[in-house]
Amino acid sequence: MKVICAQADLAAKLSLLSRAVPSNPTHPVLANVLLIAEADRLGLAVFDLSLGMQIWIPAQAEETGSITLPARFLNDIVSRLPNADVEIVAEELSVTLTCGAGNYQMQGLDAEEFPELPQLDENEPLQVPASVVLEGLQGSLFAASNDESKQVLTGLHFSTKTDSLEFAATDGHRLAIANTWSETLEATPPEVAVTVPAKALRELERMLGRTETDLSMQFDKTQAIFEFVTEQGSARLTSRLLEGQYPAYHQLIPRKFERQLTIERQVLISGLERIGVLAAQKNNVVKLVLDSKLQQLHLSAEAPQLGSGQESLPAQISGDDLEIAFNVKYMVDGLKSMSGSEVQLQLKSATDPAVLSPLAGTKLTYLIMPIQIRN
């Protein structure tokens, strides 16, 4: 194998891929990146047997071939090379990398040892602009659980509806649903209802970056495959699906609300972040008081032994006054996942879940459970 590519391309993609390389691989070859040199492109792939990623970059191969190299080590060196051509030559398993005035020797493992990334040939892919998928992920992914023992809750539930693509995630305390749509979708998209590990989708978000291309999505009973092509090359991400029944989350959303509040999103975030300094001292509890007479939302928290704080923010409030408490972190997470200048908070009672949503933009439904407070 003998191939030449640009350091900037190689460094950018190795940096993306090396994030997915397992720290304690079950087999040594899984700590490596697979390099495949074809006539005019170089393929780079990593795979931890659940999450796989493959990216192609432009290259000139004098001699095609393949080899695997230690992923993190290669990334550490390539990221520091000057912005010039990089030549990679493999003779059997001995690899020499040359760039500028430097040359580096390393020992590879046979490409044959590297497990093949899953393929799904039979299924008709769903073609959606990457921006539509990114909107869906941005509005929901943050609410997935990071606790590995919570199984399906560490995933994001993706499903097709008659009029939207639905992205939902919950960790048991809050639920985020994003509904997106694209003109390019068929009137009735094929039925899909799968739970994809949040970890894989966070890598997909990074891989897509600001790409303005179409994303092809394929699913079967055990795998999800995402693919896209850009001017520089193509990229593919495969992930095992999470098994088990995802919670019937639509049942959790109250049908009717007695109270409604509209407020500037940024004003509410800033107020909550200040009150959050006090709330952080005691379970992150922030108290909200809806004052319809003054048309103000009062936020308050107490920090034992330190002090207390209140913020009074202008808001449009309808319905009876109410005192309710939330985890301040959950509120801020939801507000930050939204865009647009105003948000709406719909409330039923001090013990029923509340729903936060932006007034404009992507349809987002963020449900949070209140915290019981005693006065």
| Site residues (vs its own copies, CB under 8 A) | 70, 73, 76-77, 80-82, 101-107, 270-271, 273-275, 277-278, 303, 305-314
Count other C-beta atoms under 10 Å from residue 247's C-beta: 15
37 or 74: CB nearest its own copies: 74
278 or 343: CB nearest its own copies: 278
101 or 187: CB nearest its own copies: 101
Of 263, 260, 266, the residue nearest 355 (C-alpha): 260
Of 215, 236, 204, 211, the residue nearest 138 (C-alpha): 204
- Can you list the alpha helix ranges (DSSP code H) found in 289-356? 328-337
Q: Please tell me the distance from the alpha carbon of residue 39 to that of residue 285, in angstroms, as a whole number.
A: 60
- E strands, 269-315, where? 285-291, 296-303, 307-314
74 or 175: CB nearest its own copies: 74
Least distance CB 275 / its own copies (angstroms): 8
277 or 369: CB nearest its own copies: 277
The pair of structure tokens assigned to 84 is 């010039």
34 or 99: CB nearest its own copies: 99
Least distance CB 309 / its own copies (angstroms): 4
Least distance CB 321 / its own copies (angstroms): 18
Burial-class residue 326 by CB neighbours within 10 Å (0-12, 13-18, 19+).
buried
Least distance CB 363 / its own copies (angstroms): 30
Count other C-beta atoms under 10 Å from residue 293's C-beta: 7
Least distance CB 331 / its own copies (angstroms): 15
Least distance CB 36 / its own copies (angstroms): 21
249-252 own/partner pairs: CB under 8 Å, 24+ apart: 249/157, 249/168, 249/170, 249/175, 249/177, 252/175, 252/353, 252/367
Least distance CB 263 / its own copies (angstroms): 12
173 or 298: CB nearest its own copies: 298
The pair of structure tokens assigned to 76 is 């550490």
